[in-house]
Amino acid sequence: MNKVVLITGASRGIGGACAKRLARDGYQVVVNYKQNQPAANQVVEEITLQGGKAFAIQTDITNERAVVEMFEQIQSQVGPVTHLVNNAGVLSPQTRVEHMSAQRINDMLTQNVTPYFICAREAIKQMRASGHVERCAIVNVSSAASYLGGANEYVDYAAAKGAIDSFTRGLSLELAAEQIRVNCVRPGLIYTDIHADGGEPNRVDRLAHNLPLQRGGTAEEVANAVAWLLSEEASFATGTFIDLAGGK
């Protein structure tokens, strides 16, 4: 089977770590990114230097038409997508609910929820066309914020991730009879650039001591769980969640 994995937001952070890990596991990797071409190219270069297969594709996944075109391009370049990691996500500056505008809340959903649906929709079509639908799988990257709530920082983001948890359950049930598995990881306090988007680059260090494990996590630790959920070793797991949040 020609395993083709698309990872959204794979130029940096958790997506970048997933790209490198899945390349080592033998996938043809598609590194999606929004704007940081040098970072995406670096991920691809690292993979190819180690003998893996990868290419980068710039697509803003909030643009439905562009997502459809991205999938068409992947299919014509390397064959149908058989595995999807819905990963790209953003934070807005920290604030409380009483200061949130409708514009901010809608942007949060547009950027963190709708693209997961649209990418899954397009991936499912290609999985069915791959001839190996029963070996196809999706992993959604949610967040521990979905059950912690994000109070005083970003309840909008937490609620968007809550939607991803529901999406995971619902989609897994829709696809279970075809043996397409849909699972979810919920990271918390991982060292990546996303905390700078929230206005606090050093957020992990400020809060890590509160965790039972008393440290922040790495993108590679999340990638390990994503790789397992996508793999045949997780063949009886669907609609389920792995929390990678240091014990919270």
Catalogue the active-site residues. 157
With DSSP H G I counted as helix, E B as strand and the rest as coil, what are the percentages for the chain, rounded to 5?
50, 15, 35
CB-CB neighbours of 102 under 10 Å: 7
- C-alpha angle with apex 196: 146 to 154, nearest 5 degrees? 30
Q: Which amino acid is at 17?
A: A
Rounded CA-CA distance 236/233 in Å is 8
Rounded CA-CA distance 20/239 in Å is 25
Shortest CB 13 distance to ligand NAP, Å: 2
Residue 11 binds ligand NAP, judged by CB under 6 A: yes
Residue 150 binds ligand NAP, judged by CB under 6 A: no
Q: Which amino acid is at 29?
A: V
What are the tokens at 95? 């604030």
Find the binder of ligand NAP among 25, 46, 60, 220 (CB under 6 A). 60
Q: How far is CA 57 from the centre of its chain?
A: 16
**Candidate segments 31-39, 46-54, 70-78, 92-100, binder of ligand NAP by CB under 6 A:** 31-39
Find the binder of ligand NAP among 28, 82, 87, 183 (CB under 6 A). 87
Q: How far is CA 130 from the centre of its chain?
A: 22
CB-CB neighbours of 192 under 10 Å: 20
What are the tokens at 140? 């959604």
By beta-carbon proximity to ligand NAP, the closer residue of 30 and 130 is 30
Q: What is the CA radius of gyration of the chain?
A: 17
Shortest CB 30 distance to ligand NAP, Å: 12
Helix/strand/coil for 172? helix
Shortest CB 130 distance to ligand NAP, Å: 23
**Candidate segments 22-30, 68-76, 176-184, 187-195, binder of ligand NAP by CB under 6 A:** 187-195
Sign of CA dihedral 62, 64, 65, 69: positive
By beta-carbon proximity to ligand NAP, the closer residue of 52 and 187 is 187
**Candidate segments 35-43, 45-53, 123-131, 223-231, binder of ligand NAP by CB under 6 A:** 35-43
**Candidate segments 83-91, 96-104, 121-129, 165-173, binder of ligand NAP by CB under 6 A:** 83-91
Residue 193 binds ligand NAP, judged by CB under 6 A: yes
By beta-carbon proximity to ligand NAP, the closer residue of 179 and 240 is 240
Residue 168 binds ligand NAP, judged by CB under 6 A: no
By beta-carbon proximity to ligand NAP, the closer residue of 135 and 153 is 153
Q: Please give the residue ranges that form the binding site for ligand NAP (CB under 6 A).
A: 8-15, 32-36, 39, 60-62, 87-90, 111, 141, 143, 187-190, 192-194
